[in-house]
Copies of this chain bind each other. A is one copy, B any other.
Amino acid sequence: MYRGKALKLLKSLSIEVGDRVKIEKAGRVYEGILMPRTELGDPNHFVVKLASGYNVGIRISKGVKISKVEGGKMPRLGLPPLEIKRDPAKPDVTIMGTGGTVACRVDYRTGAVYPAFTAQEIYSAVPELANLANIKVVEVCNVFSENMTPQLWVRIGRAIARELNAGADGVVVAHGTDTMGYTAAALSFMLKDLFRPVVLVGSQRSSDRPSSDAALNLIGAVAVAGKSDIAEVCVVMHGSTEDDFCLIHRGTKVRKCHTSRRDTFQTINDIPLGMVRGTELKLFREDYNRRKPKGRVKVEGKFEPRVALLKVTPGMPSSVIRGVLKAGDKGIVLEGTGLGHVPESLFDGIKLAVSRGVPVVMTSQCLWGRVDMKVYSTGRDLLRLGVIPGGDMLPEVAWAKLMWSLGKTKDLEEVSELMQENLAGEITPRSRPDVFLKPTFALTP
């Protein structure tokens, strides 16, 4: 909240947090919603959420003028709340809130945008959904996705199993984008005998911004959850920077690849499962787990929280691994260089870890391609030391998988087998030559 000088000024003008204000300073005019300050905020700035959705801080110095444009109110939703009856012809889809920014309600305390969290609010915000499914809403937690934890993964997993086992045709998990890939991977390993779709969805732009991707993503996600026969954990997000289609990514092969673009999520080392244009599904492949009319999801929700993900750098000393062991970590995933290499200076640390029964898994910081430790002598030496090759798993997926594997067994041999087995599409049996990145700028050859 505002303090000191700022508070005094606001009080004198009857301006409250949430009001639309105009601030003039040094010849520039800022118009937007007056945001509150966090506890760490200093009292000498106003923070305003601009129409662009971004917040600016304006220092309260000489010559700053502030005036109220209109009083604060909840953001306008597309339609007034409707009374909608359950239609037995439509699938039942549960939308699960975790604190992501998929739809529509501005939290004035933080400036973040939270899901509209009654079914009515959701229908109002995205009226298309009423034609697609009977929506039920469940709030599981309410954290920014950067504050997601392995404990919360399990809470989400249990809630998903409850919904599906109680008859929901599919579940949509609204999740912040920052760590969506991690949660998708964790759920993929955790949910056993999955017989219906579980779809993670989020939004790169607040839904109070004109360029928001929230509605298209949510419609796509509900379509996949309600209509598709994909009984897997997947991520449905924009497939391009246009508001034209979403891609359906397998939960163990997807990564947030751009800090701000709407098409930030990309399938790495494989092709996506398919796409959604409006509510129209098109699948690219046949090799996925199919929806079954009946079933019972089991949750294998034990994760060893102490697993390190170490990115290998030139000259990295063994003391890094010694530190990690000393801190009590029970597993280590290395992001090696190239085909899965580390400097020789790390060999002693790796030996020590393995001798203590701590599994060391190799992935590549290249991200694309496959670890192959038989090509060069460094790789062969590492295999000899007991390093477990991670195939073409993404480093963060290998990390979540190792936490889950160590939740099942501490036996080094068994962990090694689990890590090298393809459990949820995380390791492709053969690399496709046509999956890599292509620069998007025009090369005129």
A residues sitting closer than 8 Å to B (CB atoms) are: 38, 40-41, 54-57, 110-112, 144-151, 153, 177-179, 182-183, 239, 241, 244-245, 256-261, 263-264, 266-267, 271-272, 275, 277, 305, 308-311, 313-315, 319-320, 323-324, 326-327, 335-345, 364-372, 374-378, 380-381, 384-385, 395-396, 399, 432-443, 445
Residues of B within 8 A of A337 (CB): 145-146, 178-179, 256
A144-B341, A149-B315, A271-B441 known; 20 other A-B pairs, CB under 8 Å?
A38-B377, A40-B381, A40-B385, A55-B375, A55-B380, A145-B338, A146-B338, A178-B337, A179-B337, A244-B445, A257-B368, A257-B436, A258-B436, A259-B338, A261-B369, A264-B366, A308-B320, A323-B327, A434-B441, A435-B440
Whether the Cβ atoms of A432 and B438 lie closer than 8 Å is: no
Whether the Cβ atoms of B378 and A144 lie closer than 8 Å is: yes
Contacting residue for A315 out of B150, B371, B432, CB 8 A? B150
CB nearest neighbor in B for A176: B338
Whether the Cβ atoms of B261 and A436 lie closer than 8 Å is: yes
The answer for the CA separation of A437 and B309 in the assembled complex, in Å, is 25
Residues of B within 8 A of A310 (CB): 311
CB distance from A182 to the nearest CB of B (A): 5
Given A259-B368, A260-B369, A271-B441, A374 contacting B344 (CB threshold 8 A): no
CB distance from A256 to the nearest CB of B (A): 5
Whether the Cβ atoms of B441 and A314 lie closer than 8 Å is: no
Copies in the complex: 2
Given A338-B177, A435-B441, A445-B245, A54 contacting B324 (CB threshold 8 A): no
Whether the Cβ atoms of B437 and A437 lie closer than 8 Å is: yes
CB nearest neighbor in B for A153: B314
Given A182-B314, A327-B323, A258 contacting B369 (CB threshold 8 A): yes
Whether the Cβ atoms of A313 and B396 lie closer than 8 Å is: yes
9 tightest A-B CB contacts, nearest first: A259-B369, A437-B437, A178-B337, A149-B315, A178-B338, A146-B341, A258-B368, A258-B369, A40-B384
